[in-house]
Structure 1
Amino acid sequence: MANRLTDSLSPYLRQHADNPVDWFEWGEEAFAQARRRDVPIFLSVGYAACHWCHVMAHECFEDEQVARALNAGWVSVKVDREERPDIDAVYMLATQAMTGQGGWPMTVLITPDGEPFFAGTYLPKPQLLQLLDAAGTAWREDHERLMASASSIAGQLAGIADPGPGTPVDEEQVALAVHSLRTNFDDARAGFGGAPKFPPSMTLEHLLRHHARTGDADALAMVERTCEAMARGGIHDQLAGSFARYSVDSQWVVPHFEKMLYDNALLLRVYTHWYRQTGSPLAARVAGSTADFLLRDLRTGDGGFASALDADTSVDGHSVEGATYVWTPAQLVEVLGQDDGARAARLLEVTPEGTFEHGASTLQLLHDPHDPQWWEDVRTRLLTARDERPQPALDGKVVTSWNGLAIAALADTGVTLQRPELVEAAATAARLVLAEHLVDGRLRRTSLAGRVGGAPAVLDDHGNLAEGLLALHRATGETAWLEQAARILDLAVRHFHDADGWHDTPVDGEALITRPRGRTDNAEPSGVSAIAGALLTHSALAGDTGYRALAEEAVASQSRIITHDPRFAGWALAQAEAMLDGPRQVAIVGEDEGGSGPLRAVAQASPAPGLVIVTGPPDAPGEPLLADRPLVDGLTTAYVCRGFVCDRPVTDAESLQQALARDA
């Protein structure tokens, strides 16, 4: 018998629609029910592609005994963290404060006023039943003390959530951050930290920008070693392109197999920018295949981008992690024949012992094959055979923020690799999000199959979408994208900024026990980092000093994290690099809007951090950078500027290239 989650817009909540647990979605109905029955709330937070969420669902939420205990003594609320990042942020803060760690599924016991009194993550059935029994007894027999404890915890969270004022980020602080990253770099295996090891996409972007601005060879070396290690490891899908969420080991061999849109969008941009700086063939290959993955496997029917592919594959009614992706030597021989199968096993590190489970191996490509044509034939045959296996489920919801990241990445990659179809795919996604997610003048967080969700967009939705629109402006030269970005940024400033700085939720949003304002760049850019980058870029294009000041304030608010743990401030540091560089502005007059002339090609190839480009006729409407920029001797002319103060104009590609290099 289906429960209340049947009609949910969230694919994650729908996964629980047939549970015997009497689930509620987050909302007043659940809290009113808890108050009426005088029972606490069992809050479970996860997401559709989460492996351990599936494990707990099978062990606990599909179990009749657990369901009876929950239904009798609790109001059970299920939340999709990707649909409601605000709820997730508040209770993850509680979980980390109470346990010293966090993760999903997240299990929190809260009062009917939303105040937490227990927090944890994955709980197997026996432990969960013990918890429900003990907490239920405490609720009934020691109610006053439990409520006082919950109220005290909620009060402490409010203090933790307020990071306090920051300080402007200067050249010395950025240099110290790079030094700290070098100290924490894994010289043996690349990347940062041990197992599990996550792709440090935003830190890599920061280091690329730092190298472009300063010429720091160590910064580039950390990028190149990490990008190559990831690209050759099992975390990278050697057959279809793209990256898994993280590696469970420290050597990038065995991934946690879920594939997230935000990871692949961020990494696509990193590999594209690595190629732009160095011309690395590996960077170009990985960027191209990752872009192909986005269009082939995550693009929705209406042109947006879906959130994720699941970590698990359903095999004979059972969820099996990685079943789609791993191989044994015998399976290679079955597809390729004896000779090619044995040769492929050696190339891809597929051993009789296996690198994964049950003698299977993930695929690694530790060196380029001597015969690229042979490898391409083998790769195609293996991918065709793999496509016939059971496939992981798709979380088809379109998230505003992550589509913004994908739009920016595809626009950049399309220009850099000269693949106009990627720029057009980015534009199609942008048109979709603007058409469907802007409702009554406000931005929404998600949609599914053309149905927009009710959850309001948070700060990172505004920042990342605006970033994508500005990248489209850079790629196409079309003024309309600049205008749409300004619209989104104006909404952000109006609803998310006040005298205390930036908040993750709008001023008129749902009142939770504390108003979240995250400052760490973790799996994706924090809201404040995302908005800083978009504000900075727009200010460079439009000359809006107010936007520039807001961007500087946003980066300054992260100064403590930049100082103490720069690994979790990668996107903020990337914006700081752009600020320290200007960012540089290139105004090209005499080329058509969105044209592909030689001067624009040189400008687009520049790795300068945060560089903006505008082309068009002199004094073109809507483009302040083109104002008072005349042609020189009737020729197409480029001006390299900072803060609208320009160097001597140039009229040929070589001179522009020299000007951009000299200005570094």
Structure 2
Amino acid sequence: LQHATNPVDWYAWSEEAFEKARSEDKPIFLSIGYSTCHWCHVMAHESFEDEEVAQLMNSTFVNIKVDREERPDIDGVYMQIAQMITGRGGWPLTIIMTPNKRPFFAGTYIPKKTRYNTLGMLDLIPRIGQLWIEDRNNIDDVIQRIENALKESSEERMSSDLSENNIITAFSDLSQRFDDENGGFGSAPKFPSPHNLLLVLRYWKRTGDAWALHMVEKSLTEMRKGGIYDHLGFGFHRYSTDARWLVPHFEKMLYDQASLMIAYTEAYQISKNPLFARVVGEIHEYVTRDLMSPAGAFFSAEDADSEGVEGKFYVWAKEEIDAILSAEERDLFTKFYNIESEGNFLEEATGKVTGLNIPHNSSSLESIAKSLELDAEGARTLLESARKTLFNVREKRIRPHRDEKILTDWNGYMISALARAGTTMNDPRMIDTAERAMSFLLDNMLNENGELFHRYSDGEVAFRAFLDDYAFLILGLLDLYQATFNPKYLVLAKQLAEDMLKDFWDKGNGGLYFTGAYAEKLLVRRKDAYDGAMPSGNSIAMLSLITLARMLGDSEFEDYANAIGRSFSADINSAHSAFSMMLVALDFALGPSFEIVIAGKPEHEDMLLMLDAIRKRFLPRKIVLLRGTESQSQLLDKLAPFTKYHLPLHDKATAHVCIDHSCKLPTNSVEQMLKLLGET
């Protein structure tokens, strides 16, 4: 829709477009991007809105525009090809291909005019047009080489069982890349990579290695202090352009909020650091205020740009702050958030001062308060007053564009995060938010035939679900069950898992394809497990299937989960830390793991104390089932027959704990239960 007014004659990915290309014997110009992508906007403004470029494109090509978030299947295939051809990837992705979808050119951002070694659109298009007319044999040779490489890359490699050594090796890789000064991994640009932190926490749980815990706590603390965090309106920006987390790429993605909420929740379970709990609450405030649709589901993202300038909505001149705040607020706010008259960051391209400030914090509030002769509590109140004042002023600015697509996979992940955070923080509002979003998905994204869909936009549901939609929705259902103990979520999780295995399973080699058996056939049927900005569908499916297997006592789901790990073992062994979420799933599979069935009267104090004791602790390899009301118990008997005999002792809340399928004596004692869980 963003490109509807371009002079370029855009088509959707459709048979109409391919038929037009065939009948007119024209190559296809495929542009793949997403609505909050900065360089997509730049290329659109420079080229697609330009009459001269548009005229060339329309006369030479049939032009197709694809939103990668709506069609990740198309994006995935052509991104793989772009990386093969050019050695790099990214968006906007530019592909030129035959009417039969066979690519022979790939690039990312292309300027209007040639710059240095980069051909511009005005030179590139005539060259490709000439090649298409005069040298089709050369094009055919290029296509053949690409397709041979694609075939080679999708051939299966030897698989083997994964073991604890894989987790140890991944930790060693991450430990070597850890930035002890600033937290996080590697140098600029620096991504939060929360699934790396989740794996490191599981390594800590396994080994008690204090350095592992330090890596996580340092990373989460520094990210929260940095400019990558929105200190006025909350939530995390996409990534940092520097190693210090100071200058972010200002886009905000729903999935980053979900994965970081999980990381801060788990770290809080271990450390009880109030800062981590505060971040969890602030992310909840941000997503419900700025990303929630009126119907209760979550929109996808907020752009980095407003008024054509990246970050304009978020940055401040010192004089502006001075004019808005009281003298006392100003002194505290400017000192605490490092606000300077000349600005506190340099222009990325030129290295010059900007006169603008990104609020970020490097000293403790206590030390700043002391220097201003304020008591800590008074300083906290004053800082919050200043934050609210500036936030309200900022709200009057022109906001960045919000991408109002509702995606099943991203919503499933946010639901999972909210359910887990809500139980840990004992905050029913978070669980209500998760339930409301889940209701929307179940009402809108699942049709009467049980078919799941990927995208909702302006009342229209489109695109049959991809693997990620199933995997993340199942994860959300399982976490929501453990937050509410409403067995309907467990029933649905089981049904969706069966559908996922039926439609996506690779019967020859194991693992799950990205597209279902019902999907449009593309050049290759992708199957990968790389955990990028979001964990892969295979990683989350593996984790969900293990969880479901333990909840239902169903070893078939466990067998599928283990087969996923085996099918990607060669990839994992070549780059352990690129598969951190799959290794999180492996950690659960290896155990020791706990199946906990709590039986008793729901909402009774003894029951709540027992649940609270479990939820407040970091027990990543556990599942919890509840036999409470009669209807809950009856449904659970059908779903998980092994729970039938887990009854209350002495009419009190009772914990039935099994460790790696070996059951211990039931107990009414919270202390004894924790002892069985290794939490003394």
TM-score under structure 2 length normalisation: 0.92
**Alignment size in residue pairs:** 645
Distance in 1 separating the partners of 2:188 and 2:390: 29
- Identical counterparts, % of pairs: 37
| 2:59 alignment partner AA | A
Measured after TM superposition, the shift of residue 659 of structure 1 is: 1.8
The SS at the match of 2:405 is strand
Match of 1:414 in 2: 422
Of residues 158, 164, 176, the one that matches 1:183 is 176
- Confirm whether residue 351 of structure 1 aligns to residue 340 of structure 2: yes
Given candidates 669, 673, 677, the residue that maps to 1:652 is 669
- Which ranges in structure 1 are unaligned for 5 or more consecutive residues? 1-13
Specify which of 562, 567, 584 is matched with residue 572 of structure 2. Answer: 562
Matches within 5 A, 1:166-245: 166-245=159-238
Q: Given that residues 53 and 122 in structure 1 are in contact (C-alpha distance below 8 angstroms), is that contact kept between their aligned partners in structure 2?
A: yes
- Quote the residue 1:612 is aligned against: 623
Match of 1:641 in 2: 658
SS in 2 for 1:253: coil
Bigger shift: residues 55-64 or 171-180: 171-180
* Amino acid corresponding to residue 64 of structure 1 in structure 2: E
- Describe how 1:97-108 pairs up with structure 2 within 5 A: 97-108=84-95
- The correspondence of residues 36-51 of structure 1 with structure 2, limited to 5 A, is 36-51=23-38
CA contact (8 A) 1:167 1:559 kept: yes
1:149-188 CA-to-partner distances (Å, cap 9, x unmatched) read 1133123213223453532211122111111111111222
2:53 counterpart residue number: 66
CA distance in structure 2 between the partners assigned to 1:166 and 1:391 by the alignment: 50
Match of 1:9 in 2: none
Which piece of structure 1 moves more, 643-652 or 482-491?
643-652
Determine helix, strand or coil for the equivalent of 2:105. strand
Question: Which amino acid counterpart does residue 587 of structure 1 have in structure 2?
Answer: V
Give the letter for the 1:72 counterpart. S
Letter in 1 for 2:459: G
Structure 2 residue 63 is the aligned partner of structure 1 residue 76? yes
Query: Which residue is equivalent to 1:332?
Result: 321
Greater displacement, 647-656 / 274-283: 647-656
* Structure-2 change in CA distance of 1:565 and 1:353 (3 Å): farther
Distance 1:570 1:94, change over 3 A: same
TM superposition shift of 1:31: 0.8
Matched, 1:428 2:436: yes
User: Residue 438 of structure 2: SS of its match in structure 1?
Assistant: helix
* Alpha-carbon distance in 1 for matches of 2:107, 2:486: 49
Structure 2, unaligned stretches of length 5 or more?
Answer: 114-119, 348-353, 367-378
| Structure-1 residue corresponding to 2:644 | 627
Q: 1:162 to 1:603 in 2, by over 3 A?
A: farther
Bigger shift: 574-583 or 281-290?
Answer: 574-583
1:20 paired with 2:31, answer: no
Instruction: State how 1:140-179 maps to structure 2 within 5 Å.
Output: 140-162=133-155, 164-179=157-172
- Alignment match, 1:448: 457
Tell me how far 1:625 sits from its aligned partner: 4.9
- For 2:360, the equivalent position in structure 1 comes to 364
User: 2:654 & 2:246 partners in 1: Cα distance?
Assistant: 50
CA contact (8 A) 1:479 1:623 kept: no
Contact 2:594/2:622, CA 8 A, preserved across alignment: yes
Q: Secondary structure at the match of 1:122?
A: coil
Contact 2:601/2:652 (<8 A) preserved: no
C-alpha root-mean-square deviation of aligned residues, in Å?
A: 1.7
| Counterpart position of 1:459 | 467
Is the CA contact 1:111–1:150 (under 8 Å) kept in the aligned structure 2?
no
Instruction: After superposing the two structures, state which structure 1 stretch, 423-432 or 351-360, moved more.
Output: 351-360
Partner Cα separation in structure 2 for residue 40 and residue 594 of structure 1? 69
Structure 1 CA distance for aligned equivalents of residues 464 and 189 of structure 2: 33
- Cα deviation for residue 662 of structure 1 reads 5.3
CA distance in 1, matches of 2:214, 2:571: 24
Equivalent residue for 1:538, pick from 548, 562, 571: 548
Is 1:116 the counterpart of 2:118? The answer is no
Once the two structures are superposed, the pairs formed by residues 469-548 of structure 1 within 5 Å of their partners are 469-499=477-507, 500-501=509-510, 502-548=512-558
Structure 1 position 373 matched with structure 2 position 381: yes
Q: Which amino acid aligns with 2:55?
A: R
In structure 2, C-alpha distance between the alignment counterparts of 1:583 and 1:461, rounded to whole Å: 27
Given that 1:49 and 1:258 are in contact with CA atoms closer than 8 Å, whether structure 2 keeps it comes out as: yes
Residue aligned with 2:650, SS:
coil
**SS of residue paired to 2:6:** coil
Q: Give CA deviations for 1:83-107 in whole Å, capped at 9, x if unaligned.
A: 0001000010011111111110111
Q: Within 1, Cα distance between the matches of 2:209 and 2:407?
A: 36
TM-score, normalising length: structure 1:
0.94
Q: Which amino acid aligns with 2:362?
A: L
Higher relative contact order (CA 8 A, sep 6+): 1
1:614–1:625 Cα contact (<8 Å) kept = no
